[in-house]
Structures are given as structure tokens and as C-alpha cells.
Amino acid sequence: QQQVKQSPQSLIVQKGGISIINCAYENTAFDYFPWYQQFPGKGPALLIAIRPDVSEKKEGRFTISFNKSAKQFSLHIMDSQPGDSATYFCAASTRTPLVFGKGTRLSVIA
Amino acid sequence: DAGVIQSPRHEVTEMGQEVTLRCKPISGHNSLFWYRQTMMRGLELLIYFNNNVPIDDSGMPEDRFSAKMPNASFSTLKIQPSEPRDSAVYFCASSLSRGTHGYTFGSGTRLTVV
């Protein structure tokens, strides 16, 4: 019940395209859903987060879509750029520490 | 603020040796977390502290692992004795709360046990 399942493991997208990463969870008590971005040799950094009272949150080119009934949430990166190439982690929590997905390695090619 | 500071950045040690990883959290953050990252298992929570008190160490893999937080500005993760399967990147993170605020991660310590 504490797991967060993330897919795909890796993703290759053309520059200017849309990158989509999906996550699913089981624990209905989760009430905070962040996405983290990690570059090689660095720690994960908070990218964007959503709470279950809204279905979508947008910050620049990054959008989280949240489907409470399906217990799924996804990250959309519009107009993907080579600088977006990184590993992305979804996570979830309630009053307990964040549980992370296994990560998606995104490569944006020109 | 310099962010979460971890040391050393890299550590290579021989099997059986003691290893100590260090972390300085962001001032004012009251929660501190130690995570381990491997290709196979991703980011695993080892232990977390709230107001310097260990709350949950169920993620610590074995008794060879121990962690302390003697004050609000310093924490250590010790492995004694170290084994090759402990090789991983160890991250420290701090936050204003356990779950519903963003975590700030350090740059990690890459541990290699040979």
C-alpha cells in the first residue's frame, strides 16, 4: 500500500515534443504528490507538486494531471528541451515521509 | 542558504571498514531524512528524524547501520562494518515537515565498498 508505481522506466522524446510520465498509487490516504527532477551527480530537486483537491496544476512547461478515482497522476512536459534530460521521480505522502517511484530517465534529442 | 550539505562527496573503502557520512540540514528545517539510491531499488528511506528525534528506522537494512542527530544542524549515518552491497549513493534531505512540504536534498555521498 505504500508503493508508488512509475512508468515508463525510460523515455526518448524529440525536442519540442511532449513528455508524459505516469504514476499510480494504492494508499488513498496520500494527500501530497510531488515530482522531483534529478540531474547526474546531483540530488533530486522539487519540480512541482499537487494536492488531491485539484485535478491539474501547471507551472511553465510542466503540468501535473491528477485522477483521484483512478489513483493516478502524471507529469507532462510541453515543448521538451534537451536541458530537460534528467531522471524524474514521482512521490506521495500523507503525514509520513515521501515514498518515491523508481524513476524515469528522460532523454530529449534534437 | 547553502542548502543541505553532505560530506564526503565520494568515499571508497575496503570491506569491513567503518564509514561515516555527514549531513548539515537547512537551518529551520525540523525534519531530516536519509535515503539510499541504487539502480535496482531506487530511492529507499533509511531513517528519519523529527526535531532531532529518530522517528522511524525501519528502513535501516541491518544493525550495521546507525544514525544520529545530536543537534538541529548535524546528522551522521554510520556503517560498521561496511560490505560491498552497501555501495550506493546516500542522500540526506531536510524539510519543514515529514510529508507535506518539499524536501531539499543534498548532493549525496557516493559510497563504494571494495
Buried b (16+ CB within 10 A) or exposed e, A68-94: eeebebbbbbeebeeebbbbbbbbbbe
Distance of CA A37 to the CA centre of its chain: 8
Q: How many Å lie between the alpha carbon of B80 and the closest alpha carbon of chain A? A: 25
Average pLDDT, chain A: 95
Q: Smallest Cα–Cα separation from B25: which of B73, B84, B61?
A: B73
Angle at A38 between CA B99 and CA A49, to 5 degrees: 40
CA–CA gap between residue B67 and residue B60 (Å, rounded):
9
**Is the pLDDT confidence value at A1 over 60?**
no
Q: How many Å lie between the alpha carbon of A78 and the closest alpha carbon of chain B? A: 23
**Is the pLDDT confidence value at A95 over 90?**
no
pLDDT at B107: 96
CA–CA gap between residue A41 and residue A80 (Å, rounded):
22
Q: Smallest Cα–Cα separation from A8: which of A24, A28, A31?
A: A24
Out of A31, A49, A103, closest to residue B42 by CB: A103
Backbone φ and ψ of B84, nearest 5°: -55, -35
pLDDT at B25: 97
Out of A46, A94, A100, closest to residue B102 by CB: A46
Q: Smallest Cα–Cα separation from B20: which of B93, B107, B111?
A: B111
Residues of A with CB under 8 A from a CB of B: 31-32, 34, 41-46, 49, 89, 93-103
pLDDT at A51: 92
pLDDT at B99: 60
Out of A46, A97, A103, closest to residue B98 by CB: A97
Residues A6-12, mean pLDDT to the nearest whole number:
97
Say which amino acid occupies A18: I
Percentage of chain A beyond pLDDT 70 is: 98
Regions of chain B where pLDDT drops below 70: 1, 97-100
A100: chain B residues, CB-CB within 8 Å? 42-43
Question: Which position has the higher pLDDT, A29 or B99?
Answer: A29
With an 8 Å Cβ cutoff, are A45 and B105 in contact?
Answer: yes
pLDDT at B2: 79
pLDDT at A106: 98
With an 8 Å Cβ cutoff, are B106 and A43 in contact?
Answer: yes
B31: chain A residues, CB-CB within 8 Å? 97
Question: Which position has the higher pLDDT, A57 or B96?
Answer: A57
Euclidean distance between the first and the last CA atom of chain A, given in angstroms as a whole number: 40
**Does a cis peptide bond (omega within 30 degrees of 0) precede residue A52?**
no
| Beta carbons of B21 and B111 less than 8 angstroms apart | yes
pLDDT tens for each residue of B15-44: 999 999 999 999 999 999 999 999 988 999
pLDDT at B61: 87
**Is the pLDDT confidence value at A108 over 70?**
yes
With an 8 Å Cβ cutoff, are B42 and A102 in contact?
Answer: yes
What residues form DSSP beta bridges with A62? A59, A77
| Beta carbons of A66 and A53 less than 8 angstroms apart | no
**Is the pLDDT confidence value at A77 over 70?**
yes
